[in-house]
């Protein structure tokens, strides 16, 4: 297997195909006049904005930039540059105040202080994988890294209850952003675009009721390398294409690899493609840069993440027939 086995798409044709689906979905199924999307300054939202603009025209695309106190100002600057280049209407909605009112920062910080009693509001933090995703452990463990204003970092393993509280509070960011997107979508009679690529969509790297919520997900079928191909074709600014993807969720920069995927995005892209196309672990390992044993474990991790993502994708359970009730009773 080589990287060329992830096919180089015909970017012009794929852009046209996505655009046709987008136009048809708005007119025939959703009955909406245009689209709203959050623009983060990253590659995925940039490609979605550019595809939508090409398909619908700039007058039918509305972009939201939604910074908060932990996010990077560079992200907002890149997002603004993109909107100006595309000529689309946009607004900046700073979500710090609603997050603070909901207790997102306070609840998170309360959990952190059970590990670092001297942690203060002006410190920085991030959450990272502590366990080797390709090791023997079947459970993932996470470390908390905090940094004081003088630049000194400290790191410790997160007990499950602390991890859950930090993540639950932090996930308010994605949920409040989605609330703002749907406010503007309803105001304008627009649909909401979701921006996950195939890796994020299939492996569950999104928040249920947050960035996982959308009316249309135009690039969820594309591998990350294919998203970059579309970005080049669509003229996405070089600063965005050159930027390593980050979560932009914590005040310390946190890559997607160190929080969720474990491997580099390039390796994860290849692993998912190889798994999708039933490439034997031994045949895929060398191209990915892993041993056959590590490749086998990578396939197991992909399968487990996909299984976990089923809950994230699932609709709410509705008891609508006697058969459903009987099936539920049999489970007990």
Q: DSSP string covering 11-22, please? A: HHHHHHHHHHHH
User: What is the Cα 123 distance to its own chain's centre?
Assistant: 25
**pLDDT score of 255:** 78
Distance (Å, whole) CA 225 – CA 232:
11
Helix pair 224-234, 265-276: axis angle to 10 deg: 110
The distance between the two most distant Cα atoms of the chain, rounded to a whole number of Å, is: 63
- Tens place of pLDDT for every residue, the chain, 332 residues? 444 568 789 999 999 999 999 999 999 999 999 999 999 999 999 999 999 999 999 999 999 999 999 998 999 999 999 999 999 999 999 999 999 999 999 999 999 999 999 999 999 999 998 867 676 656 678 999 999 999 999 999 999 999 999 999 999 999 999 999 999 999 999 999 999 999 999 999 999 999 999 999 999 999 999 999 999 999 999 999 998 777 788 999 887 677 666 788 888 999 999 999 999 999 999 989 999 999 999 999 899 999 999 999 999 998 876 566 566 566 65
Integer Cα distance of 272 and 22 in angstroms: 26
Residue 70 DSSP one-character state: T
Straight-line distance from the first to the last Cα atom of the chain, in angstroms, rounded to the nearest whole number: 46
How far apart are the C-alpha atoms of 193 and 36, rounded to whole Å? 6
**3-class secondary structure, 209:** coil
Cβ-based neighbour number of residue 159 at 10 Å: 15
Global pTM value:
0.91
Question: How many of the other CB atoms lie within 10 Å of CB of 154?
Answer: 14
Alpha helices in 189-259 (DSSP H): 198-203, 224-234, 238-242, 256
Alpha-carbon span 46 to 67, nearest angstrom: 16
Tell me the two tokens of residue 134.
């390709």
Among candidates 263, 244, 262, 248, which has minimal Cα distance to 126? 248
pLDDT of 325: 56
* DSSP letter (8 states) at residue 126: E
Helix (H, G, I), strand (E, B) or coil at 314: coil
The residues, any chain, with a CB within 8 Å of residue 181's CB and separated by 6 or more, are 36, 37, 38, 64, 192
Q: For position 78, what pLDDT does the model report?
A: 95
Residues 6 or more apart whose CB falls under 8 angstroms from that of 214 comprise 192, 193, 194, 195
Q: Which helix (H) or strand (E) holds 191?
A: strand 191-192
């Amino acid at each position: 297997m080589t990287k060329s086995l992830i096919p180089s798409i015909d970017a012009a044709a794929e852009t046209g195909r996505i655009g046709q689906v987008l136009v048809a979905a708005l007119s025939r199924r959703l009955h909406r006049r245009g689209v709203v999307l959050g623009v983060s300054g990253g590659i995925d939202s940039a490609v979605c904005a550019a595809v939508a603009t090409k398909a619908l025209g700039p007058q039918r695309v509305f972009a939201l930039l939604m910074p908060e106190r932990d996010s990077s100002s560079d992200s907002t600057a890149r997002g603004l540059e993109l909107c100006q280049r595309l000529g689309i209407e946009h607004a900046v909605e700073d979500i710090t105040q609603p997050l603070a009112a909901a207790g997102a920062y306070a609840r998170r910080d309360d959990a952190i202080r059970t590990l670092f009693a001297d942690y203060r509001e002006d410190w920085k933090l991030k959450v990272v994988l502590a366990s080797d995703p390709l090791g023997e452990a079947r459970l993932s463990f996470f470390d908390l890294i905090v940094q004081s204003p003088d630049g000194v970092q400290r790191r410790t393993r997160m007990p499950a209850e602390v991890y859950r509280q930090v993540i639950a509070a932090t996930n308010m960011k994605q949920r409040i952003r989605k609330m703002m997107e749907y406010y503007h979508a309803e105001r304008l009679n627009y649909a909401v675009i979701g921006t996950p690529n195939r890796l994020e969509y299939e492996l569950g790297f999104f928040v249920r009721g947050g960035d996982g919520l959308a009316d249309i997900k135009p690039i969820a079928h594309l591998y990350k390398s294919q998203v970059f191909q579309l970005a080049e074709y669509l003229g996405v600014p070089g600063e965005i294409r050159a930027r390593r993807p980050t979560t932009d969720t914590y005040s310390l920069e946190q890559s997607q690899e160190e929080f969720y995927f474990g491997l580099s995005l390039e390796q994860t892209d290849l692993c998912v493609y190889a798994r999708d196309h039933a490439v034997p672990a031994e045949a895929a390992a060398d191209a990915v840069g892993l041993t056959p044993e590590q490749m086998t474990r990578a396939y197991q991790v992909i399968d487990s993440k996909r299984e976990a993502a089923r809950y994230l994708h699932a609709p709410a359970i509705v008891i609508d027939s006697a058969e459903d009730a009987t099936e539920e009773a049999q489970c007990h």
